[in-house]
Amino acid sequence: MDVLLHLLGGLATIATPVNLAVMVIGLVLGMLVAVLPGLTLVMGVVLALPFTYKMGVAPALILLTAMYVSGTYAGAITAILFRIPGEPMDVPLLWDGYAMTRRGEAAKALGWSLAAALIGGLASAVVMVLLAEPVAHAALKFSSPEFFSIVFFGLASVVALSGGSVVNALISLCLGLFLATVGVDSIYGAERFAFGVPFLLDGIEFLLVMVGAYGIGEVLTRLNTGFKSEAAADAGSPSRFKTALPRLAEILSVKYTLLRGTLTGIIVGIVPGAGATVSAFVAYGLESQYGKNGKELGKGAPEGIVVAKSAATASVGGALVPLLAMGIPGSGATAIILAAFLLHGIQPGPQVFVSSPDLVYTVFASVFVGVVGMCILGYFAIKPLCKVLDAPEAVVSAFVVLFCFVGAFAARNSLSDLYVIAAFGVIGFLFEKFKFPIAPLVLGTILGPLAESNFMTAMVSNDNDWTVFFTRPISGAILGVALLGLFYPIVRAALRHLRLRGRRSEPAHS
Amino acid sequence: MLERLRAVLPHSLMLLVAIGLYLAAMRIDTASAAVGGRIGPDFWPKVVIVFMGLLCVYEIVKRLVLHSSFTARGLTEGLTHNPAEPSEISDGVPVEAEPEREYPALLWSGAALIVGYVLVVPWLGFFLTTALFLAVFIRLGGFRRPLVTLAVSVIGAFALVVIFMRVAYISLPLGAGPFHDLSTALLALIGVR
């Protein structure tokens, strides 16, 4: 009952004219960044962050949450109509959605996508509300070893879930963890790695790492591969801009697909570092193997759209659970929502449910309203969204750079920060070029201080006995799962390598 | 051999960075922790740096000494292909995508422009530097309509001044000397004092 009352309170907060306007702006911006060439959802939310500096905390959270929710949807439209995925999470929609468009079923494909996003998004929002508070209550009993293990689990999962080399992901993570140590140490007050440079004494803000590596780094990468100056897509006939919603009977015929997609999205979303893209691909992979119509996936089957879209949208609710209940972001976009909390002096985690439940439930309510608003906008605003594809990439990228600079400068009014984000832009570009993932670097910088402080507290209060992390049951179990997740890809690759070598040496012996 | 050396270049650089950082970590003042025999403020960064260095050494030895192609990849590897199309994984090893064509001149010019913006903005102020940056960057990016470029640059820079300084109340660099006066006049025009 309390939960329902709090949620109504959250809805009432959104219902004020200013907050409602902020919600609509957030939804529109989220859709634009998901569609604009040269912009990604995470970059878009990063660029919106500076606008929240002078806002109250509630509208700031409403804006970013609305962007996060709607940013998971709009890319579906361009993927289905023009074979242009707005975000990596929309790639599965190319396989089935665009195939349906080529068969003349574009409106139907858009309808399936909209229905899946609505059902997946609302279902995950309900689970998020039901799950977050019990998790936060359980986390209240945790001590520093458990918190260290949870942070370690988050860091390990972002490495284990990376698509490329695990070693490179670990190096990227180590660099992020190192960057978080620059400045004055919070426990002893010792100066670390400042090298006599005054602004380094204040530490390197993770916001600068994030804006530089994601924003400037991405622009440099696009410069290196050449901009597309022409319109990205031909708008085509107006009949393509219609959405034909599936009938109830049709929705019921794919109920198990919807259920699998939504559950996968929620579960994968909860895992720190996974997010909407991983959710969509994992759900799609599961559906192709275990779905009734799995063999038809990739050839224009509605199930492919339903499972991928429901999973991507459901991941939003899932990713907000660890953020709000434990202060650990579940995805790139939630890392920025964490930044918004921190910029307003609020540390998400179990305590926030006690100290600021109104804010937590404002975020929850924003997801509910955001999902519905996103679907209404998605239904009516297809044509203008598609026109956005005409924006030349060079113009968009120029503005991205400027937004990055203003965002970095506005945080501390320091010109030195501009040099820092330019430097991280170069690092982000080099990482991309040499196939080092950026997500572990950013997550390492964000979670580094939390990992270090909990590690140090646990060690100091247990006479430097490191076994405490393994002997306490919850901490030991979480660390065990994290280590398993880290070593599994290595063991899997080693076995595959040995099998290959064996196969190659067989002909030589025979 | 040259190919292998190129492949370990990033790891070699990271190893050098790790060595330099470890030497810097040795200079961290640990006196406050030494009293109770506790681990000091240097412990955590040293663990991180040593681990980073060891990972770099592993990659260098693997590629240069063992000539091994063994690479452990994350759990999402191989998920991103259409099940209806032939697999991107051949013999258990993911097939590398064709490298995209690169434009180093464009990259260097763009990077110089970004660094130039940072260097010039304290002198010219936000409005002027932004207008110049937009014009040059858009032209550099291959957009060939000078009038549109000019309009986007001037109107865009002005719009950003209004959005950031009038709406979001962010204090941005005003520039020096006559450029400061220009920025102040512009701000007065939009009602910011």
What is the tens place of the pLDDT at every residue in B124-148?
Answer: 999 999 999 999 999 988 888 889 9
Out of A409, A422, A489, name the one closest to residue B74 (CB).
Answer: A489
> Could you tell me what percent of chain A has a pLDDT over 70?
95
Which pLDDT score is estimated for B57?
Answer: 95
What value does the mean pLDDT take over residues A19-30?
93
pLDDT of residue B79: 67
From B71, B141, B170, residue closest to A394, measured CB to CB: B141
Task: Pull the structure tokens for residue B117.
Answer: 């913006």
- For strand B89-90 and strand A191-192, is the pairing parallel, antiparallel, or unpaired? unpaired
**How far does A427 lie from chain B, in Å, by closest CA?**
11
Question: Is the CB of residue A10 less than 8 Å from the CB of residue A361?
Answer: yes
Alpha-carbon span B10 to B63, nearest angstrom: 12
Residues making up chain B, counted from first to last: 193
Higher-confidence position of A473 and A160: A473
Helix axes A106-140, A255-270, angle to 10 degrees: 40
- Best mean pLDDT range from A144-153, A175-184, A220-229, A493-502: A175-184
For testing the chain B interface, which of A90, A100, A188 should be mutated: the one with the most B CBs within 10 Å?
A188
Chain A: nearest CA to B48, how far in angstroms? Answer: 6
Q: Per-residue pLDDT for A247 more than 60? A: yes
Q: Which DSSP symbol is given to A214?
A: I
Contact, B146 vs B136, CB < 8 A? no
Burial level of A421, CB count in 10 A (0-12/13-18/19+)? buried
How does pLDDT run across A351-366, given as a tens digit for each residue? 888 888 889 999 999 9
Identify which of B45, B82, B111 has the shortest CB distance to residue A298. Answer: B82
CA-wise closest residue to A329 among A478, A174, A450: A450
* pLDDT number for residue A424: 93
C-alpha to C-alpha distance for A488 and A490, rounded to whole angstroms: 5
Kindly compute the dihedral angle of the four CA atoms of residues A262, A267, A271, A273, in this order, to the nearest 10 degrees. -10
Query: The whole model's pTM is what?
Result: 0.83
Mean pLDDT by 10 residues, chain B (193 residues): 81 95 93 78 95 95 83 74 62 58 90 93 93 94 87 92 81 90 89 75
Is residue A407 predicted with pLDDT exceeding 70? yes
Closest CA in chain A for residue B152:
A395
Lowest model confidence (mean pLDDT) among A50-54, A116-120, B120-124: A50-54
| Cross-chain residue pair B56–A496, CB shorter than 8 Å | no
- Longest Cα–Cα distance of chain A, Å, equals 79
| Contacts B160 to A, Cβ<8 Å | 402, 406
From the list A193, A425, A436, which residue is nearest B24 (CB)? A193
B11 to A160: CB separation less than 8 angstroms, yes or no: no
Contact B103 A223 (CB under 8 A): yes
Residue A235 has pLDDT above 50, yes or no: no
B169 contact residues in A (CB cutoff 8 A): 54
Longest CA–CA separation in chain B, Å: 71
CA B158 – CA B164 distance, rounded (Å): 10
Across the interface, of B21, B103, B172, the residue whose CB is closest to A406 is B172
CB contacts of A396 in chain B (<8 Å) are none
B10 chain-A contacts, CB cut-off 8 A: 430, 434, 436
pLDDT at A240: 63
Judging contacts by C-beta atoms under 8 Å, the chain A residues touching residue B138 are: 392, 394-395, 398
Interface probe with A: pick from B26, B54, B59, B76, most Cβ of A within 10 Å: B76
pLDDT over 60 at A325, yes or no: yes
At residue A231, does pLDDT exceed 50? Answer: no
Query: To the nearest whole angstrom, how far is the Cα of A474 from the nearest Cα of chain B?
Result: 23
Count the helix, strand and coil residues of chain A and give each as a percent rounded to the nearest 5.
Answer: 75, 0, 20
Contacts of A169 in chain B (CB under 8 A): 74
- ipTM here: 0.88
> Rg (Cα) of chain B, in Å, rounded?
26
Task: Return the residue in A171, A414, A496 with the most chain B beta carbons within 10 A, the one to mutate for interface testing.
Answer: A171
pLDDT at A411: 72
Range A198-222 average pLDDT? 87
Residue A181 has pLDDT above 90, yes or no: yes
> Given this model, what pLDDT does residue A409 score?
83
Q: Which residue in the set B14, B73, B110 is minimally distant from A166, CB to CB?
A: B73
Cα–Cα–Cα angle for A318, A346, A373, rounded to 5 degrees: 45
Q: Average the pLDDT over A439-456 and give the result.
A: 89
Nearest to B114 among A165, A216, A394 (CB): A216
DSSP state letter for B163: I
Average pLDDT over all residues of chain A: 86
**Chain A closest CA to B89's CA: distance in Å?**
12
A503 or A101: which leads in pLDDT: A101
Question: Residue A243 in contact with residue A111, Cβ under 8 Å?
Answer: yes
pLDDT of A128 reads 92
CA distance B116 to A425: 14
Tell me the two tokens of residue A73.
Answer: 């949807």
- d(CA A444, nearest CA chain B) in Å: 11
- Summarize the confidence of residues A211-227 as an average pLDDT: 87
Give the nearest partner residue to A398 out of B25, B80, B137, using CB atoms.
Answer: B137
Q: Looking at beta carbons, which residues of chain B come within 8 Å of A52? A: none
Place A232 in a pLDDT band, splitting at 50, 70 and 90.
very low
Taking the CA of residue B17 and the nearest CA in chain A, the distance in Å comes to 10
Kindly report which listed range (A45-59, A137-151, A413-427, B91-105) carries the lowest average pLDDT score.
B91-105
- Residues B141, A392: C-beta atoms closer than 8 Å: yes
Judge whether residue A9 has pLDDT over 80.
Answer: yes
| A473 exposure class (CB count in 10 Å sphere: 0-12, 13-18, 19+) | exposed
pLDDT at B129: 95
Residue A95 has what pLDDT? 86
- Which of A146-150, A171-175, A237-241, A472-476 is predicted with the least confidence, judged by mean pLDDT? A237-241
In this structure, what token pair is assigned to residue B28?
Answer: 């961290």
d(CA B127, CA B139): 18
Q: Which of B41, B18, B22, B37 is nearest to A452 (CA)?
A: B41
Q: What is the pLDDT of residue A293?
A: 83
